[in-house]
Amino acid sequence: MKDKFIVACQEYFVKQQGERRAHQRQIRETLPEEAITKRLRTLAKVIARSERRHQPVRIPALNGAEWGQVLRTLELKRAYA
């Protein structure tokens, strides 16, 4: 009895394959070099130096804005382009 109900209501409960849509990527403006804090600039320098020496790096917990500043600094240093 239970299985017949599930099969009968499949259109209502199951998402069909044709309804998928890709997420839109949000384009953000480039972060200026002056906006990056000194602490995060030094962290990016440590990451770049350790990468050249093939050494592991401990990266502390960062929020989204801080992580973006570190990545932007690495781009500016041309460590990762």
Q: pLDDT tens-digit profile of 10-39?
A: 666 666 666 667 888 888 788 888 889 999
HSE (side-chain half, CA atoms, 13 Å) at 57: 15
Please report which confidence band the pLDDT of residue 78 belongs to, taking 50, 70 and 90 as the band edges.
Answer: confident
Torsion of the alpha carbons at 76, 72, 36 and 38, rounded to the nearest 10: -70
Task: Tell me the pTM.
Answer: 0.61
